Chains A and B, each alone.
Chain A
Amino acid sequence: MRPTVLIVDDHPGFRSLARKLLAAGGFEVVGEAADGHAAIDAARELRPDVVLLDIQLPGIDGFEVAERLRDGAAGPAVVLVSSRDRADYGARVEQCGARGFIPKAELSVDAMRALMGATG
């Protein structure tokens, strides 16, 4: 069974490319969202295995969305993405409960699978 993904980013170009990349790599993209509130609603409705979540979003940012989606083992795995470096965000990446961080330019199926496999 293919892992399901929700893509959250306010740039349609990135969402479209990420969808192609992940679909080609064996993921099933079940939805997209362009801001934080829509991401929370979609995640609760679609129950994806993974949320690919941009940090800079209109309204509430990716860190807060990740914190709200943190729901023990039942919650989706959140993978943060940004065109900035991880170091630009300090300890907030770890503190928000995300599974990991991938720079957008380095987004790949292998990187996604590596993060998902890290905790099974």
Chain B
Amino acid sequence: MSQRLRLALALTALAAGLVDLALLLRAGEDRPGPLAYLLVAIIGVSWSFAAAGLVAWSRRPDNRTGALMVTVGLAYLLNGLLLNGVTLVRAPLGFELWFLVATLPEAVLAHLIAVYPDGRATTRLQRLFVVANYAATVPLALAQLLLVDPASLGCAECPDDLLALGGRHPYGEAVLAVSNLVLVVLAGLLLWIVISRWHRAPEPRRRSLAPVVLVGVVLVVVYLIGQALMVVMSSPPSPIEIGFNLTILMLLLLWPLAFLAGLARTRLDHSAVGGLAIELSKALPPGRLEQALARALHDPTLTLAYWLPDRHAFVDAAGYPVELPAAGDDRAVTILRQGGDPVAALLHHAALDDDPALVQAVAATARMTIENQRLHAEVRAQLEEVRASRARIVEFGDAERRRVERNLHDGAQQRLVNVSLALGIARSQVGTAGDEELAAALDEAAAELRRALAELRELARGIHPVILSEAGLGPALAALAERSPIPVTLAPVVSERLPPRVEETAYYVASEALANAAKHARATAVTISARRRGGDLVVEVGDDGTGGADPDGSGLRGLADRVAVLDGRLHVHSPAGQGTCITAVLPCAS
């Protein structure tokens, strides 16, 4: 249906243009040179708009841009036909009709520029402009027709109007000035819409917008200058006006070509798919595939997400979950499928939806590489899951240790303390009664109880050192040094509080290294330091023992695992006979 309609419109435009040309040739001898050129140029502009509009219409039937362009072309043809016909027939009413229709092409053109490339007004400002544009056109033309001298409108050969008001009405000049002012305001508003649209447009849309906007901006600027001159100079000389009109018509001739150039640039983008294929033939690291796709689609904001069937979720190249954007914002998603199942998703600017064929072509070219990278992402996601699970296990273990320590403190320790106090009270009562045997037995029980309490406290401290959560790493290391059976020197130790996981890991590194120095290395002196280096905490424990520590032994292996949970590193330097130095680097941001 729409194909037939387009064919009919094409034939109409062709026929109307030919009739127009024939009329022009017939009236040729009566016309001054510049006006004849102007009329021929109008036919050229008409065909140019109609042809480019039909191409755009067939390419994007859902977009009204093509239809608007065809309307511009037909409006110019109607304008030319009426002018030439009226000139030949010289019927006064014909001039009235022509005058009213004469501003229609420019009104439709302004509408087209304001809503390009969507083809419809999407913002309040655009809607306001479109309504004001049409609302001002006909009333202004009517007012000029009734009150203004045709000669001052640049139509010296127009006949006197039938209403016999033209040229003699006292408000004629004022009406003309107001009309021109309104047109200047509308043109300024249009310029503002175009510039702000350009500013907001993402890279992919700018590429197709650029030629159209460039010619459009020049056109509006020239039009503004022309209108401003008409406001300043009450009766501009005819050659200047014809010159402006010719310039505008030349730009109008270019404008549809600029539109086609915009389309051609999209075609060139399709040829960039070949370049992408060459790039993908080399082995690409994970992040580079996303960059290559972003370059091919001219969308620097593009991100690539891989589908993990087991998780029913999308992840990025590093294996972290990716949320797909909600519908309605300026982000869009293209799901890439294989055999109906999702493989990956391209998250890109909604402007790329203007050319879904390009996105699909790029996706098809990169399909193999994407599938490869998806498998990599799956492995990385599993690794990330393992890492997170290990962190959860450590966190759970730490929480359990704190709970057990608290239970010991509130339960068994408290009861033993009460027994100790009760024994003390009994002892003081026995002391006054003078039963020495009973007093000695009570003293012995009290001493045994104190030893049991001391052991229980030591056990609780080993499970979780309260001073670490109470006072921080510095005091905890100081307390550790005080209780150590071998002399410990504390080199500079951080005084600031750090994230609990970092403090706990640092403490266990120092505590385990100190225990090893005492138990296995027969050391006589140990030095502990804990200092900030950039975003890391560096814990270093050195001793003067026998060295030869096995980094794969269960103690050090466990420490290395614990450090790795924080994405940290553990280094053991333990040459035989030269002491041991254990260094842990712990990122504090984790």
B425→A56 contact, CB < 8 A: no
B467→A88 contact, CB < 8 A: yes
Chain A proximity of B403: nearest CB distance (Å): 14
Interchain CA distance A17-B414 in the complex, whole Å: 12
Interchain CA distance A62-B478 in the complex, whole Å: 22
Interchain CA distance A17-B449 in the complex, whole Å: 16
A89→B416 contact, CB < 8 A: no
Interchain CA distance A20-B422 in the complex, whole Å: 9
In the complex with contacts A17-B422, A21-B421, A83-B470 CB distance below 8 A: no
B479 at the interface (CB under 8 A from A): yes
B31 at the interface (CB under 8 A from A): no
Task: From A30-38, A42-50, A68-76, A103-111, give the one contacting chain B.
Answer: A103-111
B467→A104 contact, CB < 8 A: no
A interface residues, how many (CB within 8 angstroms)? 24
A11 at the interface (CB under 8 A from B): yes
- Among B413, B417, B418, max chain A CB count under 10 A is at B417
Residues of B within 8 A of A83 (CB): 409, 413-414, 417, 453, 457
B424 at the interface (CB under 8 A from A): yes
A17 — nearest CB in chain B belongs to which residue? B421
Contact pick for A92, options B449, B453, B470, B482, CB 8 Å: B470
Interchain CA distance A105-B423 in the complex, whole Å: 10
B457→A84 contact, CB < 8 A: yes
A65 at the interface (CB under 8 A from B): no
- Among B410, B453, B470, max chain A CB count under 10 A is at B470
B216 at the interface (CB under 8 A from A): no
Chain B proximity of A12: nearest CB distance (Å): 10
Contact pick for B471, options A85, A91, A106, CB 8 Å: A91
Chain A proximity of B486: nearest CB distance (Å): 17
Interchain CA distance A73-B449 in the complex, whole Å: 38
A20 — nearest CB in chain B belongs to which residue? B425
B169 at the interface (CB under 8 A from A): no
B475→A90 contact, CB < 8 A: yes
Between A and B, how many residue pairs show CB distances below 8 Å? 79
A105→B428 contact, CB < 8 A: no
Interchain CA distance A17-B471 in the complex, whole Å: 30
B483 at the interface (CB under 8 A from A): yes
In the complex with contacts A13-B418, A17-B418, A105-B417, A87-B467 CB distance below 8 A: yes
A24 at the interface (CB under 8 A from B): yes
Interchain CA distance A87-B476 in the complex, whole Å: 9
Contact pick for A104, options B417, B422, B472, CB 8 Å: B417
Chain A proximity of B50: nearest CB distance (Å): 84
B412 — nearest CB in chain A belongs to which residue? A83
A53 at the interface (CB under 8 A from B): no
B266 at the interface (CB under 8 A from A): no
Chain A proximity of B499: nearest CB distance (Å): 19
B466 at the interface (CB under 8 A from A): yes
In the complex with contacts A17-B425, A105-B450, A105-B453, A90-B467 CB distance below 8 A: yes
A56→B421 contact, CB < 8 A: no
B66 at the interface (CB under 8 A from A): no
A14→B418 contact, CB < 8 A: yes
A90→B409 contact, CB < 8 A: no
Q: What 0/1 pattern do residues 392 to 430 of B give for CB contact below 8 A with A?
A: 000000000000000001100111111011101100110
Residues of A within 8 A of B409 (CB): 56, 83-84
Residues of B within 8 A of A56 (CB): 409-410
Contact pick for A89, options B414, B453, B467, CB 8 Å: B467
Contact pick for B457, options A85, A89, A106, CB 8 Å: A85
Interchain CA distance A26-B56 in the complex, whole Å: 105
B465 at the interface (CB under 8 A from A): yes
Interchain CA distance A25-B421 in the complex, whole Å: 13
In the complex with contacts A87-B482, A90-B467, A14-B457 CB distance below 8 A: no
Interchain CA distance A20-B414 in the complex, whole Å: 17
Chain B proximity of A61: nearest CB distance (Å): 9
Q: What 0/1 pattern do residues 274 to 291 of B give for CB contact below 8 A with A?
A: 000000000000000000
Chain A proximity of B61: nearest CB distance (Å): 73
Residues of A within 8 A of B483 (CB): 87
B26 at the interface (CB under 8 A from A): no
Q: What 0/1 pattern do residues 448 to 471 of B give for CB contact below 8 A with A?
A: 011001000100110001110011
A51 at the interface (CB under 8 A from B): no
B421→A18 contact, CB < 8 A: yes
In the complex with contacts A14-B414, A104-B421, A84-B428 CB distance below 8 A: no
A90→B414 contact, CB < 8 A: no
1-30 of chain A: CB within 8 A of chain B: 11, 13-14, 17-18, 20-21, 24-25
- Among B409, B416, B465, B466, max chain A CB count under 10 A is at B466
Residues of B within 8 A of A89 (CB): 466-467, 470-471
Residues of B within 8 A of A105 (CB): 416-417, 420-421, 449-450, 453
Residues of B within 8 A of A84 (CB): 409, 413, 457, 460, 466
B420 — nearest CB in chain A belongs to which residue? A105
Contact pick for B466, options A20, A88, A104, CB 8 Å: A88
A21→B470 contact, CB < 8 A: no
Interchain CA distance A83-B460 in the complex, whole Å: 11
11 residue pairs bridging A and B, Cβ less than 8 Å apart: A11-B418, A13-B415, A21-B428, A56-B410, A83-B453, A84-B466, A88-B470, A89-B466, A90-B479, A104-B420, A105-B420
List of 10 A-B pairs having minimum Cβ-Cβ separation, nearest first: A90-B475, A90-B471, A17-B421, A105-B420, A104-B417, A83-B413, A87-B479, A13-B418, A88-B466, A83-B417
Q: Apart from A24-B425, A83-B414, A84-B466, what 9 extra A-B contacts exist at CB < 8 Å?
A: A13-B414, A13-B415, A20-B425, A87-B483, A88-B465, A90-B478, A92-B470, A92-B471, A104-B421
